[in-house]
Amino acid sequence: MNTCWRKSESGMLNGGSSETKQLETDILIAGAGLAALRAAVEAQRAGQRVTMITKGIAGRAGSSAITSAGFTAAIREADPTDSPELHYADTIRGGGDVNDRTLARIFCHEAPDRFWEMVEWGVEFDRDPDTGKYVQFKSGDHSKARVAVCATHKGTGMTLPLKQVATSVEYLDRVMALDLMFDGDGVSGIVGLDTQDLELVVIRARAVILGTGGIGQLFPVTSNPNDVTGDGLALAYRAGAILRDLEFVQFYPWRLISHVRSRMPVQPSSFAAGAILRNATGDRFMLGVDPERKEATTRDFAARGIYTEIVEGRGIEGGVALDLSEIPVETFNRLNPRVAKFFEQKGLDLTREQLILAPEGHYHMGGLRVDEHARSSLPHLYAVGEVAAGIHGGNRLDSNEIPSGQVFGRRGGIAASASAADRPAPRIDTDRVRYWQARLADMQRDAATPLDVKEIKNAVRDAMWRSVGIIRHGRTIEQGVDEADELAARLAAGRPADAGDLPEYFEAENMALVASLVTRAANLRTESRSAHYREDYPVRNDDEWLANIDVCQNRATDTPQLEKRPVKVEEPLNR
């Protein structure tokens, strides 16, 4: 869609010193993926003017576009013995009992409706060739076979159909959100950066929805694309929003690292079907990690098991071996069509090649604290998808993210639209705009120290891996806090050496800030639970830590403030 920008006089606002584009809308969504698109669809249905800003291209950027596209739901047509309450019980147990009970129950009860909605919109899921019924695969962390998979096994098989539904949305690609604006009623829009011409973009909005994804690029090896740098968490924190569960980071255990150059995951359903993991001595080590579920365990157990073999010298070329002797090759190929196609194209026999797997940074359970309508702690600010916390607790189950993003994307779109309909026209936050105009002008001067932004990004990644990787210790976590703060200070005193690196510079700022917050939360939680495992506190402690950690900015001291809040064990279902 063509955008008619309105520029302020001389390209500036009230004496600023940088070119500034202006736009006004009702609902402003920052994000590119499935949750953001679902919110856009609902706001469009409500008759709102909807604008979506995306660092890349909506529907093709972010983690949603490259996911393997699994969708969990208790679909009675597929399995009459399954139910939303069974799905809910699995989700709470898998999340280490620190999930928000209200959010988790809503998600599990509404997921089936969101599945059929996606079918109606043209998303194709795998079907049984004989019966024509939708297939739901078994995964070790679900008690029932409830993982439906997009027929293309690619996220774009979902994102692009949803984008086709959101026909009246104004898409502003290549725009990075930098800051939230406020007026007397609350959040009133976003100050962004056009990453192509490096000009400021000021968008007023009656409500803002964040769907900016997770923090995968804070780790050196990740499933997440380059644009997933924790931006939403950083700008929400600076604006005063409350964040939750930041210490819980999921590592996907089963990335294929042999034969391939690009990311290629082996699906968790493979292990429920019989695939085995072995170390360098041929031992089936997962028998000692989870004797009951073995390889078909949750991702936190599997990642720790594999990582332990590697660091204790029993690994194979940086990973562990995938043994397919107990699973029919046709079954493996059915569950992993991308892997099967790759090996077929290379003329390689899967059953004869040594396949090596290793963990990677994957998903962040932490995010903005939200209620059942995706409302954050700030008026007129909403969060959906991976940038929102609470649903998954300490560990997300296989394929629970896409349906939860659809459930709360819809709810967030409805709530934001109702709020926007009753709100007067938002006002520009001239203080924030002037601040960013001045910052961009300062970047063009030589007073600040020129920085190698890519080097700082890599330093953040190294610090995060050492301090809050798969296995943690208080000593290294504290070092991570110090390193993150030092990197943030370097960025604050410098500027990008090359003007074209300005977007990456702001990403690096966000990465360093979020690294500081994640490490602080990990340091506070003195126990092991779900994806948070500490060698110095290896036992789960429900007496002290059946709780969430909330993080917000202390405005008086400009430092993070952390607070432990007991989990509310039972919450009513609000539908």
b/e 334-364 (16+ beta carbons within 10 angstroms → b): bbbbbbbebbeeeeeebeeeebbbbbbbbbb
Find the distance separating the first CA and the last CA of the chain, reported in whole Å.
Answer: 35
Task: Tally the C-alpha atoms within 13 A of residue 352's C-alpha that lie toward its C-beta.
Answer: 5
Q: Which of 230, 190, 183 is nearest to 208 (CA)?
A: 190
Compute the average pLDDT of residues 19-35: 94
| pLDDT tens string 413-424 | 999 999 999 999
Lowest mean pLDDT among 42-46, 143-147, 237-241, 448-452: 448-452
pLDDT of residue 529: 98
Q: Where does residue 257 fall: left (phi above 0), alpha (psi -120 to 50 degrees), or beta otherwise? A: alpha
| pLDDT tens string 540-557 | 999 999 999 999 999 889
- Considering 206, 244, 255, 299, which one is annotated as catalytic? 299
Report residue 499's pLDDT band, with 50, 70 and 90 as the boundaries. Answer: confident
- Would residue 299 show up in a list of annotated catalytic residues for this protein? yes
Q: State yes or no: pLDDT of 8 exceeds 50.
A: no
Which residue in this structure is represented by tokens 């432990």? 564
Compute the average pLDDT of residues 494-512: 94
Q: State yes or no: pLDDT of 458 exceeds 70.
A: yes
Compute the average pLDDT of residues 379-390: 98
| pLDDT tens string 519-539 | 999 999 999 999 999 999 999
CA distances from 87 to 22, 46, 367 (A): 45, 31, 22
| pLDDT tens string 289-313 | 999 999 999 999 999 999 999 999 9
Report the alpha-carbon distance of residue 104 to residue 362 in Å, rounded: 21
Report residue 446's pLDDT band, with 50, 70 and 90 as the boundaries. Answer: low
Q: State yes or no: pLDDT of 10 exceeds 80.
A: no
Contacts of 46 (CB under 8 A, 6+ apart): 413, 414, 417, 418, 421
pLDDT of residue 430: 96
Report residue 14's pLDDT band, with 50, 70 and 90 as the boundaries. Answer: very low
| pLDDT tens string 259-275 | 998 889 999 999 999 99
Report residue 84's pLDDT band, with 50, 70 and 90 as the boundaries. Answer: very high
Compute the average pLDDT of residues 196-219: 97
pLDDT of residue 447: 67
pLDDT of residue 77: 82
Compute the average pLDDT of residues 442-456: 84
Identify the DSSP state of 569: S
Compute the average pLDDT of residues 111-123: 97
| pLDDT tens string 38-65 | 999 999 999 999 999 999 999 999 999 9
pLDDT of residue 6: 52
b/e 432-469 (16+ beta carbons within 10 angstroms → b): bbbebbeebeebeeeeeeebebeebbebbbebbbebbb
Most confident of 20-24, 409-413, 497-501: 409-413
CA distances from 146 to 82, 108, 124 (A): 8, 11, 16
Question: What H or E segment, with its residue span, contains residue 164?
Answer: helix 156-165
Compute the average pLDDT of residues 235-244: 98
Higher pLDDT, 77 or 124: 124
pLDDT of residue 448: 76
* Percentage of the chain modeled with pLDDT above 90: 87
* Percentage of the chain modeled with pLDDT above 70: 95
Lowest mean pLDDT among 78-87, 507-516, 519-528: 78-87
| pLDDT tens string 352-364 | 999 999 999 999 9
- Reading the block at residue 264, the tokens are 């290629």
